[in-house]
Every structure is written in C-alpha cells, then in structure tokens.
Amino acid sequence: MVSRFAQWTLDVRDVRRQAEFWSAALGYEIEFGRDGDAHLWPPDGGLSVWLQPTTEPKAGKNRDHPDLIAADGDVEAEVERLLELGASRADVGQTGDEGFTVLADPEGNEFCVLHRRG
C-alpha cells in the first residue's frame, strides 16, 4: 500500500485574490467554502488546491512549492502570462543556470516554471 498526492494546501491571507490567481494560472474551477476557504478543482480530476485562510503573513522562503510546466511548451509566454496575472519574479538564490524560472504568487509564495518536463 502507498499514499498518493490528493491536493496542495496553501495558507493565504486573501483567499479571493489567491483563488482568482491560482484558478487563472492553472485553469481550475473555484469553489468557495463557508469557512472563508476555497477549493480549486482541475478539469481533469488531477491534483486539487485548497486555500485556507490565515491571519499570519508569509515569512521566509517556502520549504516546499509547486513546479509548473507550460502546457503548450512555450515557457517564455507562460512566464509572461503568469506575471500579467499577478505573479512576480522571485530570487531564492538561483544562479541563472537553472532549468526553471522562480516566480511568486501575489502573496509571495514561491513556485517554479520548469523549462522542460522532467
């Protein structure tokens, strides 16, 4: 018996703003909960995202983060699209030779866009 990933959970201060960002970034449907949370559902039944509210600000670099890929393979266009949605470039000590671009969501949570699959 083994475990499988079911969802990515993220503590956020502005659930609505973060839900809008991640929904647009991933193409997921938003379902707002009664407790001020939001669940984002993928169209294909894959990994879901749960945004749970917190009053605490983010502090320091994330110890884990999602790695995204450009579905159509155009990494530069995808990075630009994410920046237009509200992401920002993030410096976590990268040298420039990495096979990924580091971005942060509107609340500063880092994530990467991989330059190639695997």
The burial class, CB within 10 Å (0-12 / 13-18 / 19+), for 118 is exposed
Q: Averaged over 88-98, what is the pLDDT?
A: 90
Q: Averaged over 73-88, what is the pLDDT?
A: 97
Q: Would you say residue 111 has pLDDT above 90?
A: yes
Structural domains in the chain, CATH included, are 1-57 (3.10.180.10), 59-118 (3.10.180.10)
- pLDDT value for 20: 98
Q: Averaged over 86-97, what is the pLDDT?
A: 91
73: helix, strand or coil: coil
Q: Are 70 and 50 in contact (CB under 8 A)?
A: no
pTM: 0.92
- Whose structure tokens read 């997921």? 28
31: helix, strand or coil: strand
Sign of the CA dihedral 80, 81, 82, 88? positive
